[in-house]
Amino acid sequence: MTERPDPLRTAAETMRAVRERCVWSQQITHRDLVPYLIEESHEVIDAVENGTRADLREELGDLLWQVLFHAAIAAQDPDDPFDIDDVAETLTEKMVRRHPHVFGDAVANTPEAVLVHWNAAKAAEKRTRTSVLDGVPRGMPALALAQKVLGRAARAGDDVALAAHDAAEVGAAPESEEELGDLLLMLAATARENGWDAERALRERLRLLEDDVRKAEAG
């Protein structure tokens, strides 16, 4: 019986050939790929929230292509090359470290216990960080970034409810852009405190608005 080729290896080899033989791909840098990575990531999100299983399968493939593309570029770096195998090896080592209850002797019988192990392993890996805010990607969408920063602030013991200004000072109808920022920050804090996703909440509400607009256009 013929052994089935490894689909991941085939995809990596396909990307390597494209990088070496496609004149457009040969000129692309990591920085050039960033807009495509952002776009593909959002298309995956859209497939998860509003698409079919076929959509999700396709969009995950497109996102994987971005990872393979970055690895193919990195493999040609003259000073510090690494390839997709190095990426996969680093990932596997990290996930094994962060799951001692799966690959070691630690015990975790609840999701909360799993997070304790995960955060402990992550903290050990990031010993050189001097702030809880180190490592937060500044390119995140603003609402998601606000929730991330508020969560990190809470870990540091800061009062996230007063992260910008006293809540009582922010009215329901802000009168300046600064007050609007305060209000948005407190809405993000409310979302975090309730376990809600502020970005997803706004996306879902926008979808309802889009439906209303299309219905109005259709008469």
* 174-191 per-position pLDDT tens digit: 888 888 888 888 888 888
Nearest to residue 65, comparing CAs of 112, 139, 7? 7
Note the pLDDT tens digit of each residue in 126-184.
Answer: 777 777 778 888 777 888 888 888 877 777 665 544 444 444 444 567 888 888 888 88
SS3 label, residue 71: helix
If phi > 0 it is left, if psi is from -120 to 50 it is alpha, else beta; for residue 131 that is beta
pLDDT of the residue at 129: 74
pLDDT score for 131 = 77
Residue 173, Ramachandran bin (φ over 0: left; ψ between -120 and 50: alpha; else beta):
beta
Collapsing DSSP to helix, strand or coil, 53 comes out as helix
Task: Report, as an integer, the average pLDDT of 76-91.
Answer: 96
Question: DSSP label at 164?
Answer: S
Over residues 24-70, the pLDDT tens digits come to 999 999 999 999 999 999 999 999 998 999 999 999 999 999 999 99
pLDDT for the residue 65: 98
Contacts of 126 (CB under 8 A, 6+ apart): 134, 135
More confident residue, 2 or 74: 74
pLDDT surpasses 90 at 208: no
Q: Is the pTM of this model over 0.85?
A: no
**Structure confidence at residue 157 (pLDDT):** 65
Checking if the pLDDT of 2 tops 80, the result is no
Q: Is 161 left (phi over 0), alpha (psi -120 to 50) or beta?
A: alpha
Residue appearing with tokens 């298309």: 43
Distance of CA 193 to the CA centre of its chain: 20
111-123: per-residue pLDDT in tens?
A: 999 988 888 888 8
